Amino acid sequence: MDRRRLVIGISGASGAAYGLRALDLARTAGVETHLVVSRSALLTLKQELGLHKADIEGHADVVYPPTDIGATIASGSFRTIGMLIAPCSVKTMSEIATGVTSTLMSRAADVVLKERRRLVLMLRETPLHLGHIETMAALTRMGAIIMPPVPAFYAKPQSLDEVVIHSTARALDLFDIDTGAVRRWTGLKDSFAGEPK
């Protein structure tokens, strides 16, 4: 595998911009992207971003229909560096946790786990009930990383897009993909540490 490949899933949870930015940032970093978009995500993309299927497909190297369980990403023999689901709905997370691989997205995620590759889920839900938390714990024990997109206020974002880019770039960090888009923490500049109270 000469070029690194990353599978990116976009589920129907709010936050479709995370998936779009992940595609763009990965491409900029020279990573080949393999995209699967759920049917619900198409509604979210239109509602939140005014985008249609064709609009987002142009951001990926390879695109698969969500029902294509015979796709290359459904097999462990197809080598990738892992899978990012951005955003990840509770429904998708639950399918993965239980091994119910009724769609290509959940099947591809299951393959990533069984092959001991990196699976990162940008879960978009709040507040959480015990079932959600137990499902996240189960997936963590299985090797997945649960990464809700949380704003980094220390980066002093000036726009919503900067918030999205920072969170998405941090998710890509987990695959050792340096996009150059993360404002790295360099410590407190005006620290009160050590001063008398």
Task: List pLDDT tens digits, range 132-189.
Answer: 999 999 999 999 999 999 998 988 899 999 999 999 999 999 999 999 998 888 888 7
Residue 183 lies in a domain: no
Residue 178 lies in a domain: no
Burial of 139-171, coded b for 16+ CB within 10 Å and e otherwise, reads beeeebebbbbeebeebebeeeebbbbbbbbbb
Per-residue confidence (pLDDT) for residue 184, from 0 to 100: 84
How many other CB atoms are there within 10 angstroms of residue 62's CB atom? 15
Residue 186 lies in a domain: no
Identify whether the C-beta of residue 10 lies closer than 8 Å to the C-beta of residue 41.
yes
Contacts of 62 (CB under 8 A, 6+ apart): 32, 33, 34, 35
- Confidence at 192, pLDDT banded by 50, 70, 90: very low
Q: What is the mean pLDDT of the chain?
A: 93
**25-31 average pLDDT score:** 97
Residue 194 lies in a domain: no
Residue 193 lies in a domain: no
For residue 85, pLDDT beyond 70: yes
Does 148 sit behind a cis peptide bond, omega within 30 degrees of 0 on the bond before it? no
**Amino acid present at 128:** L
Residue 72 lies in a domain: yes
Contacts of 35 (CB under 8 A, 6+ apart): 7, 8, 9, 10, 23, 56, 57, 59, 60, 62, 63, 64
Domain extent, residue 62, equals 5-173
Counted domains in the chain:
1
Please name every residue paired with 62 in a beta bridge, in sequence order, or none if there are none.
34
Task: Give pLDDT tens digits for 120-147.
Answer: 999 999 999 999 999 999 999 999 999 9
Q: What CATH number should be reported for the domain holding residue 86?
A: 3.40.50.1950
Residue 97 lies in a domain: yes
Residue 196 lies in a domain: no
CA-CA distances (angstroms) from residue 157 to 21, 153, 164? 16, 7, 10
For residue 114, pLDDT beyond 80: yes
